[in-house]
């Protein structure tokens, strides 16, 4: 009897010791993880075995004798307070029945976010706007190998699963008769990790998260690459805004607009650098989300120090911007964004975000104190824009950003108009600087060599005269009076014998190697320089930023509008070309006349020397509104314009001419 009492007392003492060991640090749940043999976790690839104890808000203890844990993240993995990924042996409802039943979960450190709540706040925003899948957020205190690590956030691992991204998961191994139209979980991934490919039209780096890299077969790879190519071709096409043949038939408008608005509302400068989207089985649409990785959003990254009055499509990083900018050219998308944004504001979005901030910060109050005792609240961890001495100041800063940025977006979306395409190039009587879209450095003639150099105002080797010649353009260097020339020898053609360095040569208006087309591209004012003889475009070698980098005669293909190495900004300087500059200014033809053909309803010039008709002509209505321009050796259609008086003006040989005519 005495022995049984002693055993009972020993068991009770042992139980009390065990429970004393697993005491919560604060009001939050506490997670205790102890790796086997105390091994360090120093890899994002290789797991370490551990045991884990979870003590919930009611002090109930749940223990797993064996889990696996490794590092995770990209930039965040290099921080002192590190994020982790944990993997259970069997599926676990770690956060309750209303969350996923899964093996894989994440422990986010939120080290770069002094409020610790930006990721959770964005998930709450996703729930408010109606995105179907939003990552879990559960704040905990983390103790690793008996060392307190701070306030962490348990969250979902982004994968295909019920209550995560709930779409059809493809079978492994893939049956012969499988429907491979879905599901695919994809990411525009600027880091280009894992199984990724570059899209065929916009060169967007796309990672295939599911099917998994180890399980996917070539048939599935080819299917999703072709699907994205079809989407991009529709988006790029001249009929991209057609409701039936354009890109709209391939996007789910609800998730598209809600994901887009959350990205812009949060001011996430990496929102277009890392963008999740997915395609389900037997479904032709692309869906957008989940929202992920928002710890440096809400004006919390000094790489772009003030995003309050900026759109991320203008200042953010990443290639998804190419898609979004194109969509902004579609009035349908602009109307969709404006309508949905006003709906969200009217539904109380801003007040909701304030309430979430207040709720989260109240919950975290005790844990925050411990966290910053360890990590320091004024310690710059990454690119934080501001450093304050108190947590409340960071929270106020976050709220102020939301207030001011939401006001800005209301104006910005309303003012946003589809951008005008880059217009045809018409030279003026000034010297030009020709700068590269990638480096902003100028083309210069260094002797007979053509290279790039830093754009310097007084550097005459960077000044170019651009004049029309035989329907094309010659580019003549101010310093040496030599013309830009493509010296490629042998076979010529858009893709034949490319890579020759451009040079300059004595002016010869009959040498087609010196004649160029200046081809407008996109909506940002850039042009290609396309050589008439070789059909090659001028390309900055390797995209190098170094002074002295050669300009090459290069491939002419579908990338002309996307590759910044091939895009050039032609900017007039403040200095006008002297009128006495021999052979440069256009000479007015001695015998020519303007005529109107009532049969074809076209304006045109007649001349015994049509090759001299190289000047630009402007056509105005009687009220003074310009209705169009044309080169004098072309014809100008008037069929779409009503009867009445019109005024035609041009300038040639230093003289301005004007003619009225009646249609």
Q: Three-state DSSP class for 560?
A: helix
| Closest-CA residue to 55 (of 82, 26, 35, 85) | 26
**According to the model, what pLDDT value does residue 11 have?**
38
Is residue 7 pLDDT above 80, yes or no? no
- Rounded CA-CA distance 198/188 in Å is 10
Largest Cα–Cα distance of the chain, in whole Å?
131
**According to the model, what pLDDT value does residue 439 have?**
92
| Closest-CA residue to 280 (of 97, 133, 137) | 133
Mean pLDDT over 502-526 rounds to 91
- How many Cβ atoms sit within 10 Å of the Cβ of residue 269? 23
Is residue 225 pLDDT above 90, yes or no? yes
Mean pLDDT over 447-472 rounds to 91
Q: From edge to edge, which strands make up the β-sheet containing 626-631?
A: 626-631, 616-621, 645-652, 655-662
Sign of CA pseudo-dihedral 420, 422, 425, 429: positive
- Rounded CA-CA distance 586/609 in Å is 14
> How does pLDDT run across 94-120, given as a tens digit for each residue?
999 999 999 999 999 999 999 999 999
> How does pLDDT run across 171-191, given as a tens digit for each residue?
999 999 999 999 999 999 999
**According to the model, what pLDDT value does residue 610 have?**
75
> How does pLDDT run across 113-134, given as a tens digit for each residue?
999 999 999 999 999 999 999 9
Please check whether residue 152 is in contact with residue 108, taking contact to mean a CB–CB distance below 8 angstroms.
yes
Confidence of residue 354 (pLDDT cuts 50, 70, 90): very high
Is residue 624 pLDDT above 90, yes or no? no
Query: Pick the residue with more confidence: 548 or 618?
Result: 548
**According to the model, what pLDDT value does residue 530 have?**
96
* % the chain with pLDDT above 70: 94
Dig out the tokens for 207 from the structure: 């990672």
Distance, CA of 458 to chain centre: 35
Q: Three-state DSSP class for 522?
A: coil
Is residue 70 pLDDT above 90, yes or no? yes
Please check whether residue 494 is in contact with residue 557, taking contact to mean a CB–CB distance below 8 angstroms.
yes
Instruction: Provide the whole-model pTM.
Output: 0.66
- Compute φ and ψ for 463, nearest 5 degrees: -90, 135
Q: Which range has the worst mean pLDDT, 139-148, 328-337, 364-373, 618-627?
A: 618-627
Beta strands in 135-199 (DSSP E): 138-144, 147-156, 184-189, 196-198
> How does pLDDT run across 268-299, given as a tens digit for each residue?
999 999 999 999 999 999 999 999 999 999 99
- Rounded CA-CA distance 176/162 in Å is 26
**According to the model, what pLDDT value does residue 510 have?**
85
**According to the model, what pLDDT value does residue 99 have?**
94
Confidence of residue 528 (pLDDT cuts 50, 70, 90): very high
Residue 413 parent element (H or E): helix 391-415
> How does pLDDT run across 554-606, given as a tens digit for each residue?
999 989 998 999 999 999 888 888 754 434 444 566 678 888 888 888 888 88
Query: Pick the residue with more confidence: 503 or 639?
Result: 503
* Residue that is written with structure tokens 């170019």 in the block: 464
Please check whether residue 5 is in contact with residue 32, taking contact to mean a CB–CB distance below 8 angstroms.
no
With a CB cutoff of 8 Å and minimum separation 6, the contacts of 140 are: 28, 29, 30, 31, 107, 151, 152, 153, 154
Mean pLDDT over 158-181 rounds to 94
Q: How many CA atoms lie within 13 A of 177 on its CB side?
A: 0
Beta strands in 421-511 (DSSP E): 430-436, 442-446, 449-453, 464-469, 472-477, 482-485, 500-501, 503-506
Mean pLDDT over 40-64 rounds to 95
Sign of CA pseudo-dihedral 445, 446, 448, 451: negative
**Average pLDDT of the chain, as a whole number:** 90
| Closest-CA residue to 615 (of 485, 488, 467, 490) | 467
Best-predicted range by mean pLDDT among 7-16, 81-90, 465-474? 81-90
Is residue 512 pLDDT above 80, yes or no? yes
Q: Which range has the worst mean pLDDT, 246-260, 355-369, 563-577?
A: 563-577
* % the chain with pLDDT above 90: 75
Confidence of residue 643 (pLDDT cuts 50, 70, 90): confident
- Rounded CA-CA distance 604/610 in Å is 11
Confidence of residue 623 (pLDDT cuts 50, 70, 90): low
């Amino acid at each position: 009897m005495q022995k049984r009492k002693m055993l009972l007392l020993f068991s009770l003492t042992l139980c009390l010791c065990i429970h004393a060991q697993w005491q919560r640090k604060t009001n939050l749940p506490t997670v205790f993880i102890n790796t086997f043999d105390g091994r360090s976790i120093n890899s994002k690839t290789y797991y370490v075995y551990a045991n884990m104890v979870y003590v919930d808000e009611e002090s109930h203890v749940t223990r797993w004798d064996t889990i696996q844990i490794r590092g995770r993240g990209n930039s965040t993995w290099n921080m002192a307070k590190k994020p982790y990924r944990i993997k259970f042996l069997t599926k676990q409802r770690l956060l309750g029945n209303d969350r996923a039943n899964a093996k894989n979960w994440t422990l986010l450190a939120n080290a770069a976010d002094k409020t610790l709540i930006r990721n959770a706040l964005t998930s709450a925003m996703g729930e408010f706007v109606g995105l179907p899948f939003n990552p879990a957020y559960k704040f905990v205190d983390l103790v690793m190998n008996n060392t307190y690590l701070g306030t962490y956030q348990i969250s979902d691992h982004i994968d295909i699963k019920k209550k995560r991204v709930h779409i059809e998961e493809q079978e492994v191994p893939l049956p012969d008769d499988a429907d491979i139209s879905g599901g695919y979980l994809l990411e525009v991934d600027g880091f280009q990790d894992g199984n990724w490919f570059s899209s065929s039209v916009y060169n967007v780096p796309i990672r295939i998260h599911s099917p998994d890299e180890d399980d996917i077969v070539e048939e599935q790879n080819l299917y999703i690459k072709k699907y994205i190519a079809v989407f991009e071709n529709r988006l790029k096409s001249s009929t991209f805004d057609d409701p039936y043949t354009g890109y709209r038939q391939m996007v789910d408008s609800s998730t598209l607009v809600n994901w887009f608005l959350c990205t812009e509302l949060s001011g996430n400068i990496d929102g277009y650098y890392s963008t999740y989207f997915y395609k389900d089985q037997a479904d032709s649409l692309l869906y957008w989300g989940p929202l992920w990785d928002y710890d440096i959003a809400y004006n919390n990254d000094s790489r772009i120090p003030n995003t309050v009055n900026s759109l991320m499509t203008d200042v953010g990083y990443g290639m998804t911007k190419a898609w979004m900018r194109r969509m902004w050219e579609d009035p349908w998308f602009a109307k969709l964004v404006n309508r949905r944004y006003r709906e969200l504001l009217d539904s109380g979005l801003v007040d909701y975000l304030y309430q979430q901030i207040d709720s989260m910060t109240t919950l975290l109050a005790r844990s925050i104190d411990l966290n910053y005792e360890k990590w320091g609240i004024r310690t710059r961890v990454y690119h934080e824009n501001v450093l304050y001495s108190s947590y409340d100041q960071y929270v106020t800063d976050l709220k102020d950003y939301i207030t001011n940025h939401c006001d800005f977006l209301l104006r910005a979306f309303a003012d946003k108009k589809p951008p005008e395409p880059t217009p045809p190039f018409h030279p003026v009587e000034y010297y030009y600087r020709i700068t590269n879209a990638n480096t902003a450095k100028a083309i210069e003639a260094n002797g007979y060599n053509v290279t790039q150099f830093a754009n310097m105002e007084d550097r005459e080797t960077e000044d170019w005269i651009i004049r029309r010649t035989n329907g094309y353009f010659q580019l003549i260097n101010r310093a040496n009076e030599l013309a830009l020339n493509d010296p490629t020898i042998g076979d010529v053609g858009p893709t034949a014998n490319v890579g020759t360095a451009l040079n300059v040569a004595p002016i010869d208006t009959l040498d087609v190697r010196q004649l160029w087309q200046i081809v407008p591209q996109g909506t940002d004012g850039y042009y290609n320089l396309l050589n008439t003889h070789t059909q090659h475009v001028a390309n900055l070698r390797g995209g190098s930023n170094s002074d002295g980098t050669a300009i090459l005669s290069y491939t002419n293909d579908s990338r002309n509008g996307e590759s910044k190495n091939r895009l050039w900004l032609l900017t007039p300087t403040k200095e006008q070309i002297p009128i006495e500059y021999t052979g440069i200014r256009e000479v007015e033809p001695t015998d020519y006349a303007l005529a109107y053909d009532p049969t074809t309803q076209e304006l045109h010039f007649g001349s015994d020397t049509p090759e001299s008709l190289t000047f630009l002509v402007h056509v105005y209505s009687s009220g003074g509104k310009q209705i169009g321009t044309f080169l004098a050796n072309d014809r100008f259609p008037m069929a779409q314009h009503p009867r009445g008086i019109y005024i035609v003006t041009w300038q040639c040989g230093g003289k301005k001419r004007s003619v009225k005519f009646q249609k």
